[in-house]
Amino acid sequence: MIDYRSNGFVLIVCAILWVVLGARFLINSATTEREYVPPKASQQAIESFVRSQLDSLQARSFAEGIELCGFVFEDENGNLDTTEVYVGETASCSYDYRWPLDVRPVAGYHTHGGYNPQYDDEAPSIFDMEQDIEFRIDGYVSTPGGRFWRVDWQNERAIQICGEGCLAQDPKYRPCPADRPVMQYSLAELRTRITVAEANC
Ligand SMILES: [Zn+2]
């Protein structure tokens, strides 16, 4: 999904484009027909696992200029593992929801590709947040600037866990002070962020 700023048509990344309609059916089968059960793994353990996973994907994501994505799931003892990593495109990545029904996904994750000044990709997109909330799963995002975000679906907030450079950073990355993301966004605040006048960076 791509939005445009009102002035200048700067492309806004919606970094995850869940393109396959069939996938919605599959995720509905996988998640919304089940009661939400809190993960056995601790929030800290999940966050740490995803952070390591995303950090390891950053270099490839930058080099190839593509998003990479996947899911973390846990077994009955709360041990974490990841699905295969799915290869996306410049500003999208399609998940594959065909996990067995006895496997419980606890988080989704995706990179935001390489640095591109046309994209506002240092924060999760509205679409990222909406999808995580709809499908009742936390989502984690890494950015070209090396930021690490969590979309907390239950509280409907995007939280910047750590800032610029805390994960691997694209060598081509140039910060945009006028467009610097704050530490947290509600969905409404995120909508405001992308409707402000174009930042000249
Ligand atoms: Zn995204």
Q: Is residue 145 in some structural domain?
A: yes
Q: Is residue 201 in some structural domain?
A: no
Q: Is residue 139 in some structural domain?
A: yes
What range defines the domain where residue 25 resides?
2-193
Provide the pLDDT for residue 26: 45
Higher pLDDT, 112 or 23: 112
* Residue 25 confidence (pLDDT) above 60: no
Look over the chain and give the mean of its residue pLDDT values, rounded to a whole number. Answer: 82
Q: Tell me, in angstroms, the distance from the centre of ligand 1 to residue 67's CA.
A: 9
Q: Is residue 153 classed as helix, strand or coil in its secondary structure?
A: coil
Q: Tell me, in angstroms, the distance from the centre of ligand 1 to residue 77's CA.
A: 30
Percent of the chain residues past pLDDT 70, beyond the cut: 76
Q: Tell me, in angstroms, the distance from the centre of ligand 1 to residue 69's CA.
A: 10
Q: d(Cα 50, Cα 126) in Å, to the nearest integer?
A: 21
Q: Tell me, in angstroms, the distance from the centre of ligand 1 to residue 16's CA.
A: 5
Q: Is residue 40 in some structural domain?
A: yes
- The pTM score is 0.81
Q: Provide the domain count of the chain.
A: 1
At a CB cut-off of 8 Å and minimum separation 6, what does 153 contact?
132, 133, 135, 136, 137, 138, 139
Q: Is residue 135 in some structural domain?
A: yes
Q: Tell me, in angstroms, the distance from the centre of ligand 1 to residue 36's CA.
A: 23
Q: Tell me, in angstroms, the distance from the centre of ligand 1 to residue 28's CA.
A: 21
DSSP of 42-108: -HHHHHHHHHHHHHHHHHHHHHHT--EEEEEEE-TT--EEE-PPEE-BTTB--------TTSEEEEE
Q: Tell me, in angstroms, the distance from the centre of ligand 1 to residue 35's CA.
A: 26
Q: Which of 8-12, 77-81, 145-149 has the lowest mean pLDDT?
A: 8-12
Q: Tell me, in angstroms, the distance from the centre of ligand 1 to residue 88's CA.
A: 11
Q: Tell me, in angstroms, the distance from the centre of ligand 1 to residue 141's CA.
A: 6
Q: Tell me, in angstroms, the distance from the centre of ligand 1 to residue 149's CA.
A: 10
Q: Tell me, in angstroms, the distance from the centre of ligand 1 to residue 161's CA.
A: 15
Q: Tell me, in angstroms, the distance from the centre of ligand 1 to residue 124's CA.
A: 5
Q: Tell me, in angstroms, the distance from the centre of ligand 1 to residue 128's CA.
A: 5
Q: Is residue 198 in some structural domain?
A: no
75's tokens = 């077994």
